[in-house]
Chains A and B, each alone.
Chain A
Amino acid sequence: MDYLIYNPLPYPVISLILMLPLLGALVTLAVPDTQGKTASFHKIWGVIVSVVTAIVALPLYNGFDPSTHLYQFAEKRAWIDAFDIHYCVGVDGISLLLVMLTVFIMPVVLLCSFTYIGNRHKEFVFSILLMETFMVGVFVSLNTLLFFIFWEAMLIPMYLLIAVWGGEKRDYAAIKFFLYTLLGSVFLIVALVSIYIKTGTFFIPAIMAHHFDLGYQILIFLAFALAFAIKIPMFPLHTWLPAAHVEAPASGSVILAAVMLKMGGYGFLRFCMPMTPGAFQVFAPAFITISVISIIAGGYLALGQTDMKKLIAYSSVGHMGFVTLGIFVVSAMGLKGAILQMINHGITTGALFVCVGLLYERTHSREIRDNSALGSAMPLFLTFFVIFSLSSFGFPGTNSFVGEFMILIAAFKKNAVLGFSVIPGAILAAAYMLQLTQKMIWADDDGHGHGKNASRKGWDLNVREGVTLSFLAVFVFWIGLYPKPFLAVMDTSVAHLIHQYQQGIALEPQGAAHAVLFSLKSLLGSLI
Chain B
Amino acid sequence: MHFLPEFVLIAMALLFFFLSLGQYPSNTLRRIALAGAFLATAAALAAFDETGVYFFNAYSIEPFSQVFKLLLCLGFAFVIAMSPGLLGVKERLNAEYYFFLFLSILGLVLLASAAEFLTLILSLEISSFSIYVIIPFRRKGKGYRGQMEATLKYIMFGALATGLTLYGVSYVYGLTHTTYLHELVQIVPGMIVHEPLLVVGFTLIFCGIFFKLALFPMHFWAPDVYQGAANETSTFVATMPKVGATILLLRLVTLLDHVPSVLTIIISILAVSSMTLGNLSALVQKDVKRLLAYSSIAHAGYLMVGIAAGSHQGMVAAAYYITAYLFLNIACFYVIYHLAPLGNNIGFEEISGLHKRSPVLAATLAVGAVGLAGLPPTAGFMGKLLVFMAAIDKGMYPLVIFAVINAGISAYFYLKLIRAAYTGEVKTDTPIGMTFFSNCLGIVLIVIVLALGMFPKPAIDLFGYAIENAIPLFL
Asked whether A475 is an interface residue with its Cβ less than 8 Å from the other chain, the reply is: no
Tell me if B19 is interfacial: C-beta within 8 Å of chain A.
no
Which of B381, B408, B422, B456 touches A164 (beta carbons < 8 Å)?
Answer: B422
How many residues of chain A get a CB closer than 8 Å to chain B's CBs? Answer: 36
Q: Do residues A82 and B457 form an inter-chain contact, with CB atoms below 8 A?
A: yes
Q: Does B419 contact A (CB under 8 A)?
A: yes
- Of B366, B381, B464, which is within 8 A of A149 by CB? B381
B377, B388, B393, B412: which contacts A153 (Cβ < 8 A)? B377
A83 and B405 contacting across the interface, CB-CB below 8 Å: no
The minimal Cβ–Cβ distance linking A332 to chain B, given in whole angstroms, is 35
Which of A79, A171, A193 is within 8 Å of B419, CB to CB? A171
A16 adjacent to chain B (CB < 8 Å): no
Q: A155-B375, A156-B418, A178-B411 are in contact. Are A164 and B423 (CB under 8 A)?
A: yes
Known A152-B381, A194-B392: A175·B419 in contact at CB below 8 Å = yes
In the complex, identify which listed stretch (B44-52, B163-171, B394-402) lies at the interface while the others stay far away: B394-402
Indicate if the CB atoms of A182 and B370 lie closer than 8 Å: no
Indicate whether A82 sits within 8 Å of B460 (C-beta atoms), given known contacts A153-B377, A175-B415, A179-B408: yes
B376 within 8 A of A: yes
**Residues of A contacting B195 with CB < 8 Å?**
none
Q: Among A79, A148, A178, A196, which residue has its beta carbon within 8 angstroms of that of B415? A: A178
Chain B residue contacts of A459, Cβ below 8 A: none
Q: Is A232 an interface residue (CB 8 A)?
A: no
**Cα–Cα, bound, A186→B381 (Å):** 12
Residue ID in chain A nearest B366 by CB atoms:
A156
Q: Main secondary structure on chain A at its contact with chain B? A: helix
Of A156, A171, A527, which one neighbours B375 at CB under 8 angstroms? A156
Query: Is the CB–CB distance between B376 and A152 below 8 Å?
Result: yes
**B425 on the interface (CB 8 Å rule)?**
no
Is the CB–CB distance between A190 and B400 below 8 Å?
Answer: yes
Contact B411 A527 (CB under 8 A): no
Residues of A within 8 A of B401 (CB): 187, 190
Q: Which residues of B contact A175 (CB under 8 A)?
A: 412, 415, 419
**A183 close to B (CB within 8 Å):** yes
Interface residues in A479-528 by Cβ distance below 8 A to B read 526-527
Check: B461 CB closer than 8 A to any chain A CB: yes
Q: Would B392 and A190 count as touching, CB distance under 8 A?
A: yes
Residues from chain A with a CB closer than 8 A to the CB of B377 are 149, 153
Partner of A186, one of B370, B405, B423, B455: B405
Q: How distant is A183 from chain B, measured CB to nearest CB, in Å? A: 4
The count of chain B contact residues (Cβ–Cβ below 8 Å) is 34
Beyond A145-B385, A164-B423, A187-B404, whether A153 also contacts B464 by CB under 8 A is: no
B419-A189 in contact (CB<8A):
no
Structural contact, A79 and B397, CB atoms closer than 8 A? no
Assembly CA distance A179 to B414 (angstroms): 11
A159 in the interface, Cβ–Cβ < 8 Å? yes
A190:B408 contact, CB within 8 angstroms = no
Interface members, chain A 185-199 (any B CB < 8 Å)? 186-187, 189-190, 193-194, 196-197
A143-175 CB contact bits vs B (8 Å, 1 = yes)? 001001110110110011001100000110011
Cβ–Cβ < 8 Å partners of A82 in chain B = 316, 457, 460-461, 464
Would you give the shortest CB distance from A457 to chain B, in whole angstroms?
A: 36
Q: What sequence of 0s and 1s flags, for each residue 177-220 of chain A, a beta carbon within 8 Å of any chain B beta carbon?
A: 01100110011011001101100000000000000000000000
Question: Is A163 within 8 A of B381, CB to CB?
Answer: no
Residue on A nearest B356 in the bound complex, by CB = A120
Within 8 A of B (CB), among A127-156: 145, 148-150, 152-153, 155-156
Contact at A179–B411, with CB atoms within 8 Å?
A: yes
What is the minimal beta-carbon distance from B272 to any residue of chain A, in angstroms? 13
Q: Which of B388, B393, B457 lies in contact with A190, CB distance below 8 A?
A: B388
Cβ proximity bits B318-334 to A, threshold 8 Å, 1 near / 0 not: 00000000000000000
A286 within 8 A of B: no
Q: Is B389 an interface residue (CB 8 A)?
A: yes
B407 interface residue per 8 A CB criterion: yes
Q: A527 to nearest B CB, angstroms?
A: 5
Give the complex CA separation of A178 and B373 in angstroms: 12
Is B412 a contact of A197 with CB atoms below 8 Å? no
Find B388's partner among A83, A150, A160, A193 (CB 8 Å cutoff).
Answer: A193
**Complex contacts, A123 vs chain B, CB 8 Å:** 355
Q: Which residues does chain B contribute within 8 Å of A160, judged by CB atoms?
A: 418, 422
Q: At the interface, yes or no: A2 with Cβ under 8 Å from chain B?
A: no
Complex contacts, A194 vs chain B, CB 8 Å: 392, 397
Report which residue of A79, A159, A193 has the largest number of chain B beta carbons within 10 angstroms of its beta carbon: A193
Query: A171 to B407, alpha carbons, bound, how many Å?
Result: 21
Report B-chain residues with C-beta under 8 Å of the C-beta of A83: 389
Residues of B within 8 A of A183 (CB): 405, 408
- Measured between beta carbons, the chain A residues less than 8 angstroms from B460 are 80, 82
A151 to chain B, nearest CB (A): 8
Hey, what's the 0/1 contact readout for B361-382 against A, CB within 8 Å counting as 1? 0000010001000011100010
Residues 223-271 of B contacting A (Cβ, < 8 Å): none
The answer to whether B375 touches A186 (Cβ under 8 A) is no
Would B388 and A186 count as touching, CB distance under 8 A? no
B residues in contact with A153, CB < 8 Å: 375-377
Task: Report yes or no: A182 in contact with B392, Cβ–Cβ below 8 A.
Answer: no
| Structural contact, B392 and A197, CB atoms closer than 8 A | yes
Enumerate chain A residues within 8 angstroms of B400, measured Cβ to Cβ.
190, 193
Q: Residue of A at shortest CB range from B362?
A: A123
6 contacts between A and B (CB under 8 A): A79-B457, A123-B355, A156-B366, A156-B375, A174-B419, A190-B400
Contacts beyond the supplied A160-B422, A170-B423, A190-B404: 18 A-B pairs with Cβ under 8 Å:
A82-B457, A82-B464, A123-B355, A148-B376, A149-B381, A153-B375, A156-B370, A159-B415, A159-B418, A160-B418, A163-B422, A175-B412, A182-B408, A187-B401, A190-B388, A190-B397, A197-B389, A526-B397
> Which residues of A are interface residues toward B (Cβ below 8 A)?
79-83, 123, 145, 148-150, 152-153, 155-156, 159-160, 163-164, 170-171, 174-175, 178-179, 182-183, 186-187, 189-190, 193-194, 196-197, 526-527
